[in-house]
Amino acid sequence: MLGTDYSFDAQADLPGVAFAAMRLIILAQAKAANMTVLEDSDNHLTVETAHGLIGLRPGETSEAAGMVAAKDARWLFVMKNAVLQQMRHLMPEVAEAMRWSDAETQGEFPPNFSFVRVREVVELGPVFLRVTLEGEDLSAHGDDAIHFRLVLPPRDAEPQWPGVAANGSITWPEGPAAPHRPVYTARAVDYNANTILMDVFVHEGGRTTDWAQQLLMGIRARQIVGVIGPSGGGLMQADHVLMASDETGFPAAARILENLPDGATGQVILEAEEGASCDYPIAVPEGLSLIWLSRAKGERLDTATLAALSKHKGAKAWFAGERAQATRVRETAKAAGWEAGDLRVSGFWRAAPAD
């Protein structure tokens, strides 16, 4: 991202916050997350994150001010919300009092929110539904952040949508009208037609499954939904990869695999209830081997991934699966000496606690 034009920026005074103390907190977080410190002087700190800059500046009415910069208004909003989330955790009263120099108009839709219309839902094999979402301008959904949050009103309530609070944070409707906000992957984006393909894994009790199945049956009550994003990680430019995923990560894995550099090598491990017979279309490049695991036969993604790690030292490891499994893989890999920068291990869903 170095050299990116971060021409959208904003500052917000941090009342009562000491520059030196906040500098140490940001530097510790930057180190833990492997971020680059671009500037660190007496009164200026600038750190580059995956999607923009954060830092500290002298405040106008306080000793320190938070600074964010990004390439467009959407990412600026995301950066502001990331700072607010941290501040809410550290000093909630400061987060509440913050006012950004380019303040959004309170009550408006967040800049990274847009409405989309479901154009089509089709079955994609026995356990996936492919939903085509159509919007007005989906150009922000590029290769550097391939996920988004679906904003799905509940079945039987008048739809209500997110807004912006005085401190620039996103506000969500609460109570019976609160929308469901699961994260999904843009399997493909057609910038001419302004469409996103989203592949929904059909599972028991899923509210997104229910929505997509209703549309498949021609029930159009929730044909208009919202999208917040883009967000999350992007494609991987790596010559040697170890990729492991259950169904929730298949769309992301498929998109990453089809964009790996020519000649890439490594291994792909995919887990589904009945293994390969889930028939999800996923093309694995020639230099990579593919293993299918079957949950029905008791095979487990985390166990197979951990067994494969030692054979792929130096690779970029990408894992998408159940949260507890992801934690096990991340912690074991770190203990085995894997660098944080070579690990993209994510919990894509969370199993319901056992009764």
Q: Which of 155, 220, 313, 350 binds ligand FAD (CB under 6 A)?
A: 350
Cβ neighbours for 238, distance < 8 A, ≥ 6 positions apart: 260, 261, 264, 315, 316
222 binds ligand FAD (CB under 6 A): no
Asked whether position 207 contacts ligand FAD by CB under 6 A, the answer is: yes
Kindly state whether residue 354 participates in binding ligand FAD, applying the rule CB under 6 A. Answer: no
Q: Is the peptide bond before 230 cis (omega within 30 degrees of 0)?
A: yes
Of positions 201, 280, 318, 338, contacts ligand FAD by CB under 6 A: 201
Closest CA to 243 of 211, 276, 285, 281: 285
Q: Does 349 bind ligand FAD (CB under 6 A)?
A: yes
With CB under 6 A as the contact rule, which of the stretches 96-104, 158-166, 199-207, 298-306 interacts with ligand FAD? 199-207
125 binds ligand FAD (CB under 6 A): no
- Identify which of residues 79 and 198 has a Cβ nearer to ligand FAD in the complex: 198
Residues 172-191 that bind ligand FAD (CB under 6 A): 180, 182-185
Distance between CA 298 and CA 304 in Å, rounded?
A: 11
**139 phi and psi, to 5 degrees?**
-65, -20
For residues 180 and 154, is the Cβ–Cβ distance under 8 A?
A: yes
d(CA 113, CA 77): 10
Measured from the Cβ of residue 300, the count of other Cβ atoms closer than 10 Å reads 16
Q: What's the rounded Cα separation, in Å, for the pair 233 and 147?
A: 7
For position 352 contacting ligand FAD by CB under 6 A, the verdict is yes
* Of 206, 236, 287, 300, the one binding ligand FAD by CB under 6 A: 206
Interface characters, 33-52, with ligand FAD (x: CB under 6 A): --------------------
Note whether 18 and 63 are within 8 A (CB): yes
Any idea which residue has 């609460």 for tokens?
A: 174
Contact call for residues 140 and 230 (beta carbons, < 8 A): yes
- Distance CA(157)–CA(336), nearest Å, equals 50
Taking a C-beta distance cutoff of 8 angstroms, is the pair 46, 34 a contact?
Answer: no
Residue 346 Cβ vs ligand FAD, minimum distance, rounded to whole Å: 6
CA dihedral of residues 302, 281, 199, 275 (deg, nearest 10): -40
Minimum distance, C-beta of residue 161 to ligand FAD, in the bound complex (Å): 18
Q: Nearer to ligand FAD by C-beta: 103 or 216? A: 216
169 in contact with ligand FAD (CB under 6 A): no
Interface residue with ligand FAD among 63, 104, 199, 342 (CB under 6 A) is 199
Single out the segment in contact with ligand FAD by CB under 6 A; choices: 35-43, 74-82, 90-98, 248-256.
Answer: 248-256
Sign of CA dihedral 99, 103, 105, 111: negative
* Residue showing tokens 């833990």: 32
Binding of ligand FAD by 216 (CB under 6 A)? no
Work out how close the CB of 244 gets to ligand FAD at its nearest, in angstroms, rounded to a whole number. 15
Q: How far apart are CA 93 and CA 88, in angstroms?
A: 7
- 271 lies in the binding site for ligand FAD (CB under 6 A): no
Stretch that binds ligand FAD, among 57-65, 85-93, 247-255, 272-280 (CB under 6 A): 247-255
Q: Which stretch binds ligand FAD (CB under 6 A): 82-90, 105-113, 207-215, 300-308?
A: 207-215
Number of residues in contact with ligand FAD under rule CB under 6 A: 25
Tokens matching residue 257 = 């695999």
Quick check: 348 binds ligand FAD (CB under 6 A)? yes
**Residue ranges that bind ligand FAD, judged by CB under 6 A:** 147, 180, 182-185, 199-201, 203, 205-209, 232, 247-248, 251-252, 348-352
